[in-house]
Amino acid sequence: MSIIDKLSLVEKTYEDIVQKLNDANIKDNRVIQDLMKKKSEIEDIVEEYKKLKVVLKEIDESNEMINNPDTDKELKDMALLEIEELNQKKEDIINGLRLLLLPKDKNDGKNIIVEIRVGTGGDESALFVGDLFRMYTRFIERTNLKMEIIDTSPTELGGYKEVIFSVSGKDAYRTLKFESGTHRVQRIPATESGGRIHTSASTVAVMPEAMESDVVIKDEDIRVDIFRSSGPGGQSVNTTDSAVRITHLPTGLVVQCQDEKSQHKNKAKALKVLRARIYEKEEAERKAKEAKERREQIGSGDRSERIRTYNFPQNRVTDHRINVTLYKLDRFMDGEITEITDALFKKEQEDMLASYSD
């Protein structure tokens, strides 16, 4: 099927949806909302297709003028110049439409759960967890996204063993999904008297937030333990037993939350994280199966590989997936990360274009 055939089908679908929305007999709000959602998803494609049809018509008219023996030379020359511009315009529109026609990641519009954890490097890794947490916090402040802390495990030196937080807002998952992976840091620790550069790492997991309808957690499948919250070094944070640990028996996944003073709030947050982890696990298995069937490696979610290196002495950040190096690490750590996240999104689109033929 050619791209024009695909576009014709999308336009026909759009016209059918508009006709249904204009039908006064449809009273069910859920049906109307579903139709509105589908209309919104393909509206941009239809608008671009309309522009393409205008250009194709103008190309045909120019060709008729060029091939008409009664057309004088001056008009033919003008038509040849015009057709060159029109062909370029046609290619630009078609390239844009190819991107719009690509399969959408169903999770792109979802809110997310982000987990940052220590990796190799001990205390230095824990300090870097704190640095990454601040980086994402500042990035989120620069956007229209919102953050809510779910759980933290601070260390005595000011770092964190683990930080878990949620991010909500338009396209939260699409905005930050490429941050999943191992983040390596190279710098001279404050405790290093010899001035030697140490290498350590922290890991980041970005998971789509799952709705209750996405993942059903049965009461008999979980064990809930209640305990007293504690801070770094065993320092008591709460004098009541409000911290919650949930173990999902079928998968062995364990989640705990102690940031809230309310046991019920901690349990609700822990369940939200657990649901996201189960959903991510199921999604990873599904994507792995798809990748095997059609060699599609996009969005595999593999966190085992080093994705980025932060070199503080050289003020350098390198993303190894796209071989991009920026010499403005200070600004990057202040939340200015879009130059790399946008490049990663563009690469994803290019990889998908290469994987799908017309």
| pLDDT of 230 over the 80 cut | no
Based on the domain organization, do 274 and 308 belong to the same domain?
no
Based on the domain organization, do 207 and 307 belong to the same domain?
yes
pLDDT of residue 248: 94
Beta bridge pairs of residue 113:
166, 207
Best-predicted range by mean pLDDT among 28-42, 156-170, 185-199, 295-309? 156-170
What's the DSSP call for residue 236? B
- Long-range residue pairs from 36-43, CB within 8 A, at least 24 positions apart, any chain: 38/13, 39/14, 41/104, 42/10, 42/13, 42/14, 43/14
Residue 193 lies in a domain: yes
| pLDDT of 202 over the 90 cut | yes
Site of tokens 């809230």? 260
pLDDT of residue 162: 94
Give the closest residue to 94 by CA, choosing from 56, 37, 66. Answer: 56
Q: How far apart are CA 343 and CA 337, in angstroms?
A: 10
| pLDDT of 8 over the 70 cut | yes
Based on the domain organization, do 230 and 281 belong to the same domain?
yes
Based on the domain organization, do 169 and 310 belong to the same domain?
yes
Query: Which helix (H) or strand (E) covers residue 350, if one does?
Result: helix 338-355
Q: Tell me the per-residue pLDDT of 11-59, one tens digit each, with 9 for 90 and over.
A: 999 999 999 888 888 888 888 888 888 888 889 999 999 999 999 999 9
Based on the domain organization, do 208 and 305 belong to the same domain?
yes
Question: Which tops the pLDDT comparison, 287 or 71?
Answer: 71
Give the closest residue to 358 by CA, choosing from 109, 94, 161. Answer: 94
Based on the domain organization, do 257 and 174 belong to the same domain?
no
Beta bridge pairs of residue 148:
166
Based on the domain organization, do 308 and 162 belong to the same domain?
yes
192-210 CB burial, b ≥16 within 10 A, e <16: eeeeeeeebbbbbbbbbbb
Residue 294 lies in a domain: no
- pLDDT bin (cut points 50, 70, 90) of residue 296 is very low
Mean pLDDT of the chain: 86
Q: How far apart are CA 163 and CA 130, in angstroms?
A: 8
Q: What's the gap between Cα 85 and its chain centre? A: 36
Q: How far apart are CA 150 and CA 115, in angstroms?
A: 10
Q: Tell me the per-residue pLDDT of 274-286, one tens digit each, with 9 for 90 and over.
A: 999 998 888 888 7
Cα-atom radius of gyration of the chain, to the nearest Å? 26
Based on the domain organization, do 337 and 208 belong to the same domain?
yes
Give the closest residue to 337 by CA, choosing from 140, 166, 109, 113. Answer: 140
Based on the domain organization, do 248 and 344 belong to the same domain?
no
pLDDT of residue 191: 67
Residue after which a domain boundary falls, among 243, 259, 289 = 289
How many structural domains comprise the chain?
3
Residue 295 lies in a domain: no
Residue 107 lies in a domain: no
Based on the domain organization, do 191 and 321 belong to the same domain?
yes
Compute the average pLDDT of residues 259-281.
Answer: 89
Residue 322 in tokens: 């796209």
Residue 217 lies in a domain: no
Residue 336 in tokens: 């200015």
Model confidence, pTM:
0.70
Domain that holds residue 201: 112-212+300-357
pLDDT of residue 294: 43
pLDDT of residue 235: 47
Residue 184 lies in a domain: yes
Based on the domain organization, do 40 and 178 belong to the same domain?
no
Residue after which a domain boundary falls, among 258, 289, 320 = 289
Cα torsion 300, 176, 327, 127 to 10°: value is -100
- pLDDT bin (cut points 50, 70, 90) of residue 241 is confident
**Is 219 within 8 Å of 246 (Cβ atoms)?**
no
Q: How far apart are CA 46 and CA 18, in angstroms?
A: 12
Q: Which of 109-113, 294-298, 316-320, 332-336 has the lowest mean pLDDT?
A: 294-298
Angle at CA 327, nearest 5°, toward 323 and 330?
120
Based on the domain organization, do 97 and 147 belong to the same domain?
no
CATH number of the domain enclosing 263: 3.30.160.20
- Burial of 357 by CB count in 10 Å (0-12 exposed, 13-18 middle, 19+ buried)? exposed
CATH number of the domain enclosing 130: 3.30.70.1660
Residue after which a domain boundary falls, among 75, 101, 127 = 101
| pLDDT of 74 over the 90 cut | no
